[in-house]
Structure 1
Amino acid sequence: MDFVNSLLNWVVLPASLVMLAFAWPALSFINACEWLYNSFHSENMDNKVVIITGASSGIGEQIAYEYAKRGANLVLVARRENRLRGISENSRRFGARHVMIMGADVVKEDDCRRFVYETVNFHGRVDHLVNTASLGHTFYFQEVTDTSVFPRLLDINFWGNVYPTYVALPYLHQSNGRVIVNASVESWMPLPKMSLYSAAKAALVNFYETLRIELKDEVGVTIATHGWIGSEISRGKFMLEEGAEMQWKEERDVHVSGGPVEEFAKLIVSGACRGVSLCQVSKLV
């Protein structure tokens, strides 16, 4: 047995390196061809229907404006319906054909069914579902004294993406549409004080990578991994949305400037319209 193990150690590793050396140029060429094709073939979103969750602020709001510039019909979803009114008006000025706003909680399946069904009843279709609802934190796990926030964090960051996708999938199949997921760079690069957030985002990536295999190109999946965004969370705060069932704010000695949310939103929408599977716009600032 020792002889066999030694033989395998001497043979398998060099053989793997040789195979990699021959395969790498071919894979690089294929990836380059795919990148060139996608660069010149961007989906025309004019009059298409886009549902955006978490659209009341941050990257969700900016993604709405990017789709508006492309002439899409928007369905803006968030808990803070009052915030959506102003964003709706801005979207129309940017060029959106039609804008609907809906107050809903994405961790409640019934709410998700309601805003998807209302969209289909009005427009007759769904072309893109953009999941941006997210909730971060900046605390050390061992310092937590109130664990009641744990389920809420995982609900919003995981189930808040899964439920809208589950309900919208039949209609995305009909339109050969696309799901866009706000996964964040923490899904593969864990950072201190963001343990639960990172875990939820990693679970999200694995879920959608598996779903991509199941869907077999009938519905596209774009996973966006962006870096720090200039927002309240990057300035050391933790806060649930206004109107949420619980409010918990925590000031920390963390002051990190974030990248421009407008730039991230533009890159994500551009990648989604080009059919990119993994939209890496990670940039730590």
Structure 2
Amino acid sequence: MDFIHQLLSIIFPLLTTLLLLFFLPPYLLFKLLSYIFRSFCPENVAGKVVLITGASSGIGEHLAYEYARKGARLALVARREDRLGEVADKSRRLGSPDVLIIPADVSKPEHCKVFIDKAVDYFGCLDHLVSNAAVVQLSMFQDVTQISDFHRVMSTNFWGSVHGAHFAVPHLRKNKGKIIAIASIAGFMPLPKHCFYSAAKAALISFYEVLRVEFGSEIGITIVIPGLIYTDMVLQHAYSSEIQTGFLPGQSAERCAKSIVASACRGDTYLTQPAWYRTFWMFKMLCPELLDSICLLLLIGKPRSAKKTS
């Protein structure tokens, strides 16, 4: 058996390389033609029901505005009811015919069931689930004294999305709906002080990749991988004082949201925004040591030890 594995370790990479030389050009041409076709025939979401978690600020807020401009009916979920009300009012002015606000915490499974049930009871169906809610806590792992202090990162960023999808799937399947999962570049880049956040986002990417295979054409899944987006979370002093982001050009939450909605309506499987961040995938596959060095730049000029979290 060891001999077989040794033989495959030599032969399989060679056969794969040869196969890619013949297969890759027509495959890329097919993807280009498919993208062009889907760009000219996107889904019309006017009148459709879109539920967005984490809709009180940042990307989630601007997703609400972009869907509203396209005439979608909205169910907006977040913890801050006052901010949800403001986002709902603006969404109505931008063109949404009906907006429902549901104060809830996605880190609590019972809340996830409640906001899905409320949205379906109110609108009668569900077409898009946008799983966007997230929190971030920064710390060098060596400075963590209580791992339990970071449970909320996983509970919100991963389990909150899982529970929401679990309760939404039966309703999405009825309409051949879509899930738009907002992950992060941190899901595959080794960003310092983001170990728990990165782990949650990496788990999120893998989870929805498996669901895409399991659901097939029944439910469309778009995995969004944003890079540096100028949201309240990133612009706050607590973040900028810990991480050096000046050498990385970012993007506004509004522009990012426009790209996400367009991508979801095209039925894309992945969206990296800004698009040039996709080159980091190449670094990770071909020269991971270089990617490690790039990520280390995030600490240059910043304290290497974060404040204790407990």
Q: How far does the alpha carbon of each residue in 1:177-234 deviate from its partner, in whole angstroms, 9 at most, with x for none?
A: 0000110111122211111101110000000000111101100001000111213442
Task: State the partner residue of 2:282.
Answer: none
- Deviation of 1:111 (Å): 1.3
**How well do the aligned residues superpose, as a CA RMSD in angstroms?**
2.4
Kindly indicate whether the alpha-carbon contact (under 8 Å) linking 1:179 and 1:219 is maintained by their aligned counterparts in 2.
yes
Q: 2:114 corresponds to which letter in structure 1?
A: R
Structure 1 equivalent of residue 272 of structure 2 = 280
List aligned pairs for 1:58-73, cutoff 5 A: 58-73=58-73
Contact persistence 1:51–1:74 (CA under 8 A) = yes
Q: CA deviation at 1:10?
A: 6.7
Per the TM alignment, residue 2 of structure 1 is displaced from its structure 2 partner at its CA by 11
> Does residue 256 of structure 1 match 2:245?
yes
Instruction: Give the number of equivalent residue pairs.
Output: 274
Q: Which amino acid aligns with 2:165?
A: T
Shift of residue 42, structure 1, vs aligned partner: 0.7
The 1-side partners of 2:84 and 2:256 are apart by 20
For normalisation by structure 1, the TM-score amounts to 0.88
Q: Does 1:80 align with 2:69?
A: no
1:66-103 alpha-carbon deviations (Å, 9 max, x no partner): 00000000000011111101111000111111000011
Cα gap change, 1:86/1:21 in structure 2, threshold over 3 Å: closer, same or farther? same
Partner of 2:258: 266
- Deviation of the 1:22 alpha carbon: 0.8
Secondary structure of the 1:138 match is coil
Deviation at 1:41, TM superposition (A): 1.3
Question: Which residue matches 2:174?
Answer: 174
Residue of structure 1 in register with 2:46 after alignment: 46
The answer (yes or no) to whether the contact 1:236–1:254 under 8 Å persists in 2 is: no
Q: Which amino acid aligns with 2:245?
A: V
Equivalent AA in structure 1 for residue 151 of structure 2: P
**Cα distance between partner residues in 2 of 1:226 and 1:21:** 30
Match of 1:143 in 2: 143
CA distance in structure 2 between the aligned counterparts of 1:213 and 1:233, rounded to whole angstroms: 33
Alignment-derived partner of residue 194 in structure 1: 194
Contact preservation (8 Å) 1:138, 1:252 = no
Larger helix percent = 2
Determine the C-alpha separation between the residues in 2 that align with 1:114 and 1:94. Answer: 27
Q: What residue ranges of structure 2 are gaps of 5+ in the alignment? A: 278-310
- 1:55, 1:61 within 8 Å by CA — same for their partners in 2? yes
Amino acid at match of 2:251: G
SS at structure 1 position matched to 2:61: helix
| Residue in 1 that maps onto 2:121 | 121
| Percentage of pairs with the same residue | 42
Q: Distance in 2 between matches of 1:13 and 1:104?
A: 49
CA distance in 1, matches of 2:25, 2:76: 44
Distance 1:207 1:7 in 2: 33
Query: 2:308 matched to which residue of 1?
Result: none
| Counterpart position of 2:134 | 134
The equivalent of 1:20 in structure 2 is 20
> Could you tell me how far 1:146 is from its partner in structure 2?
4.0
User: For the Cα contact (< 8 Å) 1:137–1:233, is it kept in 2?
Assistant: no
- 3-state DSSP class of the match of 1:148? helix
